[in-house]
Amino acid sequence: MHDSEKILRRLHTLGIPELTTVQALNALPGSYINLACRLPNGQTAKILDDSKSYSATQVERTDNERCYGVAADDEQLAVYEYGCNGADAVLVAWIKL
């Protein structure tokens, strides 16, 4: 499995208060968590590989009904924000590990 400690350390440095409390990640298939999301350039795309497994979690936001989704492998960390059932997903951070 991926280096969870390294992923968590990096996740905790992003400056997103809700993500500083994440202590564990779950193995989830890319095909399950690969959301079509709005990228910083305004385009919509999927950035994960459906055939890979990712260390992942979902965290509810404290100030509204949206959630953060985290997905990472040994090379990258992606953080999304989305509504119910992954609706209106926006890429918040995409970082090389």
pLDDT at 86: 92
Going by pLDDT thresholds of 50, 70 and 90, the confidence category of residue 63 is: confident
The answer on pLDDT for 26 being more than 70 is: yes
The answer on pLDDT for 64 being more than 60 is: yes
The answer on pLDDT for 2 being more than 60 is: yes
pLDDT at 1: 55
The Cα angle at residue 56 between residues 89 and 18, in degrees rounded to 5: 70
Domain residues for 92?
4-96
Q: Smallest Cα–Cα separation from 58: which of 1, 17, 19, 93?
A: 19
Terminal Cα distance for the chain, rounded: 15
H helical segments located in 1-62: 4-12, 30-33
Going by pLDDT thresholds of 50, 70 and 90, the confidence category of residue 6 is: very high
Please report, for residues 25, 40, 63, 69, the alpha-carbon distance to residue 57 in angstroms, rounded to integers and kept in the order given. Answer: 6, 22, 19, 6
The answer on pLDDT for 74 being more than 60 is: yes
Mean predicted lDDT score pLDDT of the chain: 94
pLDDT at 62: 83
The total of structural domains in the chain comes to: 1
